[in-house]
């Protein structure tokens, strides 16, 4: 507890500091700026225009805030949040018959909602982006999903607890086709007649995003696709885990890249296909070198996203001549199963500095962001080797 603010270790430092400033009425609202003799043409709240923009008004009585709290209450299945003061808002999680985990979850959502509401207001002022309450809630949900789980065992929300956090995540604990797994020689079937794995990537505009537990390249348009057994999967994003999640003959590598694809056919049996590339320490990776300046910006400026422009996925340079193939799952909640995994057998190199940069950019203070190995449950695992 700091100056009446309850610190939340599920959230990054910047969100906690923001919540603390909200509690102490230290945000640069129009009201507060006017008190500091800053010339403000209009003191009215930019969201509703009905009252002076104070911290109390912005987060409690503004109709945009009130609507947001109603939607949050419905989503969280709690009594409608009614706050007359900021203090009421910051203490919502303390009331009612909630267990400790649910209380912390509610506090997390309240703080994230305040953060996203403030961000939406600034986007309106400085970028003329219209405010949409459903979109604010969507952003809160996206951030909450990332902050709600951890890779640290002692955190109370580590990998062994993922399936207990949400009923929708129960597959993380009781699924029978989970990833990652060990790709062991004695478990794989060597296939000398290769399956068709056709790649057709192309340059496309992309965004570099800090998702809370990893750094992601998200392509904004059509960056190409792969074809697996006649089904086309469109490339959506790529992200990194360190150390590697998959192991080969029990050997864990320094880094693993996942290229995530989505089927263009909504009726196909397998909707998601992921290509994995493993890296050992050595020469710098050229693809990461090109992104280095933008990733550094995520570290130094604590930005959440960057716009590096066009990124060519062909520069990832994975080799799919020899690769492992099996059916698994997403390695983060909700741990959805039925994912086609293709793991390149060729191990690339990455520098220690590049691995460290990816971890520093995330700001989650965790030593790693890789899920522990999961039982293979005697699944079919193939090594395609022409």
In order, the DSSP letters of 247-272 are EETTEE-SEEEEEEEEES-TTSS--E
Residue with tokens 């906690």, as numbered in its chain:
16
Q: How far apart are CA 172 and CA 178, in angstroms?
A: 7
Rounded Cα gap, residues 332 and 273, in angstroms: 15
Look up residue 265 and give its two tokens. 């056919």
Taking CA atoms, 276 is separated from 70, 85, 320, in Å, by 42, 50, 10
* Closest to 10 in 3D by CA, of 170, 208, 146: 146
| Residue 356 CB partners (closer than 8 Å, separation 6+) | none
Helix (H) or strand (E) holding 335: none
- The torsion angles phi and psi of 339, rounded to 5 degrees, stand at -85, 130
Residues of 234-248 as b/e, b for ≥16 C-beta within 10 angstroms?
ebebbbbbbbbbbbb
For strands 255-263 and 197-201, give the pairing: unpaired
Query: For the chain, how long is the longest CA-to-CA vector?
Result: 77
Which residue among the candidates 213, 239, 258, 261 is catalytic per the annotation? 213
Would you give the distance in Å from CA 205 to the centre of its chain? 20
Residues forming a β-bridge with 349:
280
Q: Is 213 in the active site?
A: yes
Task: Give me the active site residues, please.
Answer: 213
């Amino acid at each position: 507890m700091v100056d009446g603010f309850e610190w939340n270790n599920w959230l990054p430092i910047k969100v906690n500091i923001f919540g603390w400033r909200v509690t102490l009425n230290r945000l640069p609202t129009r009201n507060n700026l006017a008190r500091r003799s800053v010339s403000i043409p209009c003191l009215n709240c930019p969201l509703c225009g009905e009252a002076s923009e104070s911290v109390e008004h912005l987060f409690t009585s503004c109709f945009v805030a009130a609507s947001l709290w109603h939607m949050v209450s419905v989503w969280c299945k709690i009594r409608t949040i009614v706050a007359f003061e900021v203090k009421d808002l910051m203490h919502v999680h303390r009331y009612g018959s909630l267990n400790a985990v649910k209380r912390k979850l509610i506090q997390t959502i309240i703080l994230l909602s305040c953060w996203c509401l403030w961000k939406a207001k600034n986007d309106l002022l400085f970028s003329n982006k219209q405010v949409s309450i459903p979109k604010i809630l969507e952003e809160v949900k996206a951030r909450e999903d990332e902050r709600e789980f951890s890779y640290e065992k002692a955190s109370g929300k580590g990998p062994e607890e993922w399936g207990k956090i949400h009923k929708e995540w129960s597959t993380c604990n009781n699924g029978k086709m989970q990833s990652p797994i060990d790709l062991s020689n004695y478990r794989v079937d060597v296939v000398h007649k290769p399956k068709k794995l056709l790649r057709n990537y192309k340059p496309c505009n992309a965004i570099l995003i800090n998702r809370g537990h990893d750094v992601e390249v998200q392509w904004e348009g059509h960056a190409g696709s792969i074809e697996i057994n006649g089904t086309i999967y469109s490339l959506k994003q790529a992200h990194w885990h360190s150390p590697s999640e998959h192991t080969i003959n029990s050997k864990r590598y320094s880094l693993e890249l996942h290229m995530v694809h989505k089927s263009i056919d909504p009726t196909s049996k397998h909707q998601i296909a992921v290509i994995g590339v493993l890296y050992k320490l050595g020469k710098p990776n050229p693809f990461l070198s090109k992104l280095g300046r933008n990733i550094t910006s995520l570290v130094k400026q604590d930005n959440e996203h960057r716009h590096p422009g066009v990124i060519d996925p062909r520069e990832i340079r994975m080799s799919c001549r020899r690769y492992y193939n099996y059916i698994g799952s997403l390695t983060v909640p909700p741990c959805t199963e039925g994912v086609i995994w293709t793991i390149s057998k060729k191990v690339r190199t990455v520098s220690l500095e590049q691995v460290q940069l990816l971890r520093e950019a995330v700001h989650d203070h965790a030593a790693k962001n890789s899920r522990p190995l999961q039982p293979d449950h005697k699944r079919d695992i193939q090594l395609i080797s022409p």
